[in-house]
A and B are shown apart, each in its own frame.
Chain A
Amino acid sequence: MLQIENLVKSFDNKEILHGISLNVKDGEIFGFIGHNGAGKTTTIRCAVGIIPFESGKIQIDGRNILDDPIWCKSVTAFLPDNPDLYENLTGIQYLNFIADIFEMTAETRMDKITAIGRELEIYDSLGDQIKSLSHGMKQKVALISAFMHDPRLLVLDEPFVGLDPKASFIMKNKLRELCDNGGSVFFSSHVLEVVQNLCDEIAIIRQGSIIMNGKTEEILQSGESLEQIFLDTENIAS
């Protein structure tokens, strides 16, 4: 579903990503972990077409993001680490904006917004101005916008930050549900326990390079927790 090959990205002549390669398969939840400033967010922002890159290739469902950005974006949903939404709009105005962009019919959007909104317990606040919402509530509005158009690929940057335990639980279920229906999820997180329990495949990035990548059970076969493995890789590198 998402293929990243030899991705190189620089900022002001400083190379940040040194040839990243990853492959998120259909029906798979892919966890992406690394220390602060390792290059997770930059990789994600390149993958969803937010920032350009110097070299490499990114394909979503077989189509190149550079050649066919609109198609790639139409099958993808992205959630950034901090949901900076349009603060002056109400939740429902923002969701209608996204629904219009994704060409959702009036009936479908109503059903989806109602269902996901009630599930995440944000429905009653959708008429409120976004700037009046807490961080977690904004995150929930952003989650509805991501799920409501049935994306085939969901890319999330630190999705569990700010969510209450129930919303986190619902989101994990929804991620699994999306994958069971053939979709894929690629997300970064510092919550290693969630990554360990939820992901089919994991990659660890350090200073712009992938230092470990594989099936979760293969990585964990030594019996150590993901946290211990991650800390070991950090120690070896330093």
Chain B
Amino acid sequence: MKRMLTLTKTQLLNLFFQSRSGKKSKIPPIVISCLVMFGLSLYYSWIFADMMETQAHAVPYMVSILGTVIIFMSGISGSQGMLFGFKDYDSLMALPVTERDIVTSKIVVYTFMQYLYSFFLVIPAMLIHGYRISASVFYYFRVILCFLPFPLLPMVLSALIGIAFQKLTAGKRYGKLLQNGLTIAFIALVYYFSFSFGASAGSGQPGMQVGGIAAFLPSAKWYVEGVINADIPKLLLLFGIGIAVYVLFILIYSRTIIRVTAQGMQGYHVANFRLKKVKRAGSLGALMRQEWQRYFNNFTYFLNTSMGMIVLMIMSIYVIFIDNPIKDLITELMIERGDVLAKIWQTFILAISCVGSMTCTTGVSISLEGKSLWILKSIPADVKEIFLAKIMVNVILIMVPSTLSLLGLGIAFHLPLLYYIVGIVMLAATALFISMLGLLINLRFPKLEFDREVVVIKQSLSAFLSIMIPMFLAVGIMILFFITNMEYFYWIMAFFIAADLILVFLLLKYGTERFRRLA
């Protein structure tokens, strides 16, 4: 037990006090990120509470569902690297500690991270809700205390799926491809079921729909209903099942976790290798190919940046084939009211751009060079070309699914040609904006020292900023668009084009110099 605690303490210290400069920072960067997230969550919870005032308890349900889904989805990718596949495997296994101690310490650290992610999303909304319904002091007590078992069930489920994926794919030549394919299929399945359940459970009323979805996510339902109604049986279920599942997971899966970690570290071998003639590529092509290989070989990187676009694409194609009253209503509205037609398709374009803003591979692409940065710095490739390769990959990653979504919505709602033309221009402008902004952020806050790539992708300041800044900017622009009666679409487009030009200038002037100074 003592050794397990020592292991856990050391790993938490290593996680919290990682800094870019190598100097120990007084305030851990992760704490700053959490405080920012707490503030933003408070702000947005208040806004949503205002918007959904007529629907009782809609915000607590919404954040609990969102929290559960985030824990579940991020757990599938995050478990790799944090829970298993850890790089310190060799050094830990050589220590006089039991396998269970090692795994338990990893699980505790992993759990801690899941608490952090969900705490700053769920708790502010619950506090705001309590304030607005003038809840008693016991409500706040329940909010905090009952949060303890809240992430356990989705976390264990996602870890089990992560382990299953890892067992199926680790050490195989096309393992990563298979893993990515399985994940996409899994996400599609989850969304399909959530659409179906949401539609059938809610009788068309948004507030009830949220409650209906929660019925299929038991920990979210038990937490919200237990806390708000002081429903003791539900709270007992939340604690009992959450803790039981968690303990059983540690007891049963310790050995499996060690095994899949060892399996995953081996890489793959090819028997009877024969050199084949390959077509020569230019240096830009070679740099881009290297970026693609890194992207598709890193499960967390892929999942973290592709999920939004995959979901959007699935939804846009789904819309073509479904019969839905809302779809019919929008179509009718566009036919009857020519004046709203443009506003509707402009909203579609902005919505696709907003989702695209969540795909920022450049935000960590410099950091991910890590100890291999010497390769890029010593090869005869221009820094601008290196930047271009990174930006192009990100732009393609946004543009391909965005364009398909644009097409899907265009076909579903019979939109005019202008929609496609303006849409492509807008998507290209925003894709370039996200990619260049991400690269600049990463050049400013690189994290080249790390033991696992997941630390860079999920926990670095650059990753946080390159996701949060575009996301909040996108949400802000959407809000601005709606409160100004959807009049300023072309001004928004002009803003992004102008911002792109500024970013090009900054990258050439400041970015290249910054890259040269990286070591």
B280 near A: Cβ within 8 Å?
A: yes
* Nearest B-chain residue to A92, judged by Cβ: B275
* Nearest B-chain residue to A75, judged by Cβ: B380
A110 near B: Cβ within 8 Å?
A: yes
Distance A72 CA – B381 CA, assembled complex (angstroms) = 11
Specify which chain A residues have a CB less than 8 angstroms from the CB of B377 in the assembled complex: 49-51
Please determine whether B374 and A50 come into contact, CB atoms closer than 8 angstroms. Answer: yes
Specify which chain A residues have a CB less than 8 angstroms from the CB of B266 in the assembled complex: 132
Partner of A86, one of B273, B280, B294, B378: B294
A71 near B: Cβ within 8 Å?
A: yes
Please determine whether A93 and B293 come into contact, CB atoms closer than 8 angstroms. Answer: yes
Please determine whether A114 and B275 come into contact, CB atoms closer than 8 angstroms. Answer: yes
Q: A106 with B267: in contact, given A85-B375, A100-B283 (CB under 8 Å)?
A: no
For residue A91, give the distance in angstroms from its CB to the closest CB of chain B: 9
* Chain A contact patch, size range: 35 or more
Interface locus among A118-126, A175-183, A207-215: A118-126
Please determine whether A84 and B371 come into contact, CB atoms closer than 8 angstroms. Answer: yes
B337 near A: Cβ within 8 Å?
A: no
* Nearest A-chain residue to B298, judged by Cβ: A88
B379 near A: Cβ within 8 Å?
A: yes
Specify which chain B residues have a CB less than 8 angstroms from the CB of A131 in the assembled complex: 265, 267
A204 near B: Cβ within 8 Å?
A: no
Distance A132 CA – B270 CA, assembled complex (angstroms) = 11
B26 near A: Cβ within 8 Å?
A: no
A45 near B: Cβ within 8 Å?
A: yes
Q: A82 with B519: in contact, given A70-B381, A129-B268 (CB under 8 Å)?
A: no
B91 near A: Cβ within 8 Å?
A: no
Please determine whether A124 and B372 come into contact, CB atoms closer than 8 angstroms. Answer: no
Which of A45, A87, A117, A125 has the largest number of chain B CB atoms within 10 A?
Answer: A87
* Nearest B-chain residue to A96, judged by Cβ: B278
Please determine whether A52 and B379 come into contact, CB atoms closer than 8 angstroms. Answer: no
A59-92 Cβ-contact flags toward B at 8 Å (1 or 0): 0000000000111111010101010111111101
B234-275 Cβ-contact flags toward A at 8 Å (1 or 0): 000000000000000000000000000000011111100101
Which of A97, A114, A124 has the largest number of chain B CB atoms within 10 A?
Answer: A97
* Nearest A-chain residue to B21, judged by Cβ: A12
Give chain A interface residues in 155-196, CB to chain B under 8 Å.
Answer: none
Distance A84 CA – B376 CA, assembled complex (angstroms) = 12
For residue B405, give the distance in angstroms from its CB to the closest CB of chain A: 29
B289 near A: Cβ within 8 Å?
A: yes
Please determine whether A128 and B281 come into contact, CB atoms closer than 8 angstroms. Answer: no
B350-374 Cβ-contact flags toward A at 8 Å (1 or 0): 0000000000000000000011101
Distance A45 CA – B375 CA, assembled complex (angstroms) = 12
Specify which chain B residues have a CB less than 8 angstroms from the CB of A80 in the assembled complex: 374
For residue A51, give the distance in angstroms from its CB to the closest CB of chain B: 4
A13 near B: Cβ within 8 Å?
A: no
B459 near A: Cβ within 8 Å?
A: no
Distance A132 CA – B136 CA, assembled complex (angstroms) = 59
Partner of A106, one of B176, B270, B278, B285: B278
A127 near B: Cβ within 8 Å?
A: yes
Please determine whether B267 and A128 come into contact, CB atoms closer than 8 angstroms. Answer: yes
Distance A93 CA – B286 CA, assembled complex (angstroms) = 10
Distance A74 CA – B379 CA, assembled complex (angstroms) = 7
Write the residues of chain B forming the contact surface with A, with a CB cutoff of 8 angstroms: 176, 265-270, 273, 275, 277-283, 285-287, 289-290, 293-294, 297-298, 370-372, 374-375, 377-382, 516-517, 519
New A-B contacts (13) at CB < 8 Å, excluding given A70-B382, A100-B283, A103-B283: A49-B377, A51-B519, A84-B371, A84-B372, A85-B372, A89-B290, A93-B293, A97-B290, A100-B289, A101-B286, A101-B287, A123-B273, A129-B269
Q: Which 3 A-B pairs have the closest CB atoms?
A: A132-B267, A100-B286, A127-B270
Chain A to chain B contacts (Cβ below 8 Å), 12 pairs: A50-B374, A82-B371, A84-B372, A96-B286, A98-B379, A100-B286, A101-B381, A103-B280, A103-B283, A106-B278, A123-B275, A125-B273
